[in-house]
Amino acid sequence: MSDTLMNINVLILAAGHGKRMASPHPKVLHTIARRSMLSHVVATALGLEAHLQVAQIGIVHGPDHLAAFQADIAAEFPNIGRNIVFAEQTERLGTGHAVQCGLQVFQETLPLLVLYGDQPLMSAEGLARMMQSVQNHAVCIASFETDQPHGFGRLIRNSEGSITAIVEEKDATDDQRAITLCNAGVMALSPEALPYLDQLKVDNAAQELYLTDLVTLANAQKRSIQHITFPLEEMASVNTLAQLAAVESLWQQQKRAQFLDHGVQMLAPETVYFSVDTEIAAGCFIEPNVIFARGVCVAKDTRILAFSHLEQATIGQKCQVGPYSRLRPNSNLEDDVKVGNFVEIKNSRLQSHTRANHHAYLGDCFIEPRVNIGAGTITCNYDGQSKHPTHIGENAFIGTNSSLVAPLKIGKNSIVGAGSVISDNIDDDDLSLERNKQMIIRGGAKRHRERKIGK
């Protein structure tokens, strides 16, 4: 990292109750694209390193949330290599008080970027512009324009257009409520503005210390204030489950557009749902109502058919999955594998040219190339206490409705007859079947019906 880059601290405010979520979980741990909102914001802060030098990332949490926050971030960023520090806001006395709590954990005084843990759609590029602004201004405010400003703080400007104050909705006059330039919450502070935090006072309807009052204090000291206007969607915040769903929709729309622009064809994009780490190569085709959970990577020219659900799966080139397929964690399909309707795969590797076209369960197995898995085949991998593997050799044929009782090894070029329960290993080129002899009772059906009628 170049020494010429601006050195900053980032503080994420995440101590809110989130009462309007009506949820037992901390608000910022609710997910967008299967990543918590908090980790989305941490990822954005880390993304600033393309533009700035981030010394520390601080997270302000409420009582009893520290362990959950640490676990979430450790799971999302196992190799973060970054000094993330935590500060507790025991009493929730407003945004200004939260920043006061957070500043105590930083090792040095640097320009400060204040973010919120419930704004997961922010871009690092826009935030970097804010931080660069405070090289020449005391404070830079993130703003947005909207014709429905109800509920947001308003930016007050003087006749010259300079920002003089931010007024919260509940404290605003009727004329101020008509203003459409709104505060997005995010704020960049120069080191010279940080001492103003000690001058904040409880002088508002909420009886809280407002971070936004720094603007008034800076103006009183003739310090310059800047604001940068962002798209409303980028600064969308979440306070209710309805807003969470709306922000999820915004994220999905953006991701679908990205994939379409990069050559991924979708018949009904609005019905396909991606995760934050989904990887799909150009030339793929996705039918409606497909869900990509975490950890899915799809190589080029693969088709994912309708109503399929994929999680922690790696799919090779020219494969076909679905319709109605489920790939569970650690599923690996090599090139030109077909997995059809109502096939479930878990912790298994299917090598090239293998087919499992319908109604099968393949768990904890390794399947070599050119194997045919007949309809109704299941690997009986769990004995009630432990999971066991199944190995099926190259060019084997597994007949319909077979149960393969693991641990089991089936040799190359072998055949398993339909309806078999196989519990012993099968050597290469062998044919194995296990079924009871069919019994036919002549006229038995007629006599059975006559007895029923007689009753």
What pLDDT score does 81 carry? 67
Domain assignment present for residue 452? The answer is no
* Distant-in-sequence, close-in-space partners of 253: CB < 8 Å, separation ≥ 6: none
Tokens of residue 405, six digits = 């009782």
Domain assignment present for residue 450? The answer is no
- By C-alpha distance, which of 56, 82, 55, 59 is closest to 70? 59
What pLDDT score does 1 carry? 40
Looking at the fold, whether 231 and 248 belong to one and the same domain comes out as no
Looking at the fold, whether 128 and 212 belong to one and the same domain comes out as yes
How many other C-beta atoms are found inside a 10 Å radius of the C-beta of residue 163? 24
* Distant-in-sequence, close-in-space partners of 324: CB < 8 Å, separation ≥ 6: 306, 307, 308, 341, 342
Tokens of residue 403, six digits = 């149960």
Looking at the fold, whether 275 and 398 belong to one and the same domain comes out as yes
Cβ burial of 312 (10 Å; 0-12, 13-18, 19+) is middle
Integer angstrom CA distances of residue 401 from 192, 360, 376, 433, 434: 75, 9, 4, 12, 11
Q: How far apart are CA 347 and CA 361, in angstroms?
A: 11
What pLDDT score does 2 carry? 46
What pLDDT score does 18 carry? 86
The end-to-end CA distance of the chain, in Å, is: 90
Tokens of residue 248, six digits = 């999820």
Q: How far apart are CA 310 and CA 295, in angstroms?
A: 9
Q: How far apart are CA 393 and CA 414, in angstroms?
A: 8
Whether the Cβ atoms of residue 316 and residue 336 lie closer than 8 Å to each other? yes
Looking at the fold, whether 288 and 406 belong to one and the same domain comes out as yes
Whether the Cβ atoms of residue 62 and residue 80 lie closer than 8 Å to each other? no
Looking at the fold, whether 230 and 129 belong to one and the same domain comes out as yes
* Distant-in-sequence, close-in-space partners of 220: CB < 8 Å, separation ≥ 6: none
Estimate the crossing angle of helix 124-133 against helix 37-47, to 10 degrees: 60
How long, in residues, is the chain?
A: 455
Looking at the fold, whether 352 and 410 belong to one and the same domain comes out as yes
Estimate the crossing angle of helix 37-47 against helix 66-76, to 10 degrees: 60
Residue 380: phi, psi to the nearest 5? -85, 85
* Distant-in-sequence, close-in-space partners of 55: CB < 8 Å, separation ≥ 6: 7, 8, 9, 83, 106, 107, 108, 110
The percent helix, strand, coil of the chain (3-state, each to 5) is 25, 30, 45
Q: How far apart are CA 126 and CA 232, in angstroms?
A: 13
Tokens of residue 313, six digits = 């799966």
Q: Position of tokens 């799966």? A: 313
Domain that holds residue 274: 241-432
Q: Which of 97, 137, 358, 359 is catalytic?
A: 358
Tokens of residue 347, six digits = 């912790």
Looking at the fold, whether 375 and 261 belong to one and the same domain comes out as yes
Domain boundary among 176, 206, 235: 235
Neighbour-count burial for 66-81, b at 16+ CB within 10 Å, e otherwise? eebbeebbeebeeeee
Q: Which CATH number do you get for residue 366?
A: 2.160.10.10
How many other C-beta atoms are found inside a 10 Å radius of the C-beta of residue 136? 10
Tokens of residue 391, six digits = 């190995």
Mean pLDDT, each 10-residue run in order, the chain (455 residues): 77 92 94 98 95 96 94 92 88 93 94 97 96 95 93 89 88 92 96 94 82 92 93 94 97 98 98 98 98 98 98 98 98 98 98 98 98 98 96 98 98 97 97 89 90 79
Number of structural domains, the chain? 2
Looking at the fold, whether 278 and 425 belong to one and the same domain comes out as yes
Task: Give per-residue pLDDT as tens, 113-139.
Answer: 999 999 999 999 999 999 999 999 999
Integer angstrom CA distances of residue 341 from 290, 321, 359: 13, 8, 6
Domain assignment present for residue 220? The answer is yes
Domain assignment present for residue 1? The answer is no
Domain assignment present for residue 81? The answer is yes
Looking at the fold, whether 301 and 164 belong to one and the same domain comes out as no
Looking at the fold, whether 219 and 253 belong to one and the same domain comes out as no
Integer angstrom CA distances of residue 92 from 64, 97, 113, 171: 13, 8, 20, 19
Q: Position of tokens 């003739």? A: 222
Tokens of residue 208, six digits = 């809280």
Domain assignment present for residue 448? The answer is no
Domain boundary among 216, 235, 254: 235
Domain assignment present for residue 454? The answer is no
Looking at the fold, whether 61 and 168 belong to one and the same domain comes out as yes
Q: How far apart are CA 142 and CA 212, in angstroms?
A: 11
Helix (H/G/I), strand (E/B), else coil: 288: coil
Looking at the fold, whether 180 and 261 belong to one and the same domain comes out as no
Whether the Cβ atoms of residue 23 and residue 57 lie closer than 8 Å to each other? no
Is 358 one of the annotated active-site residues of the chain? yes
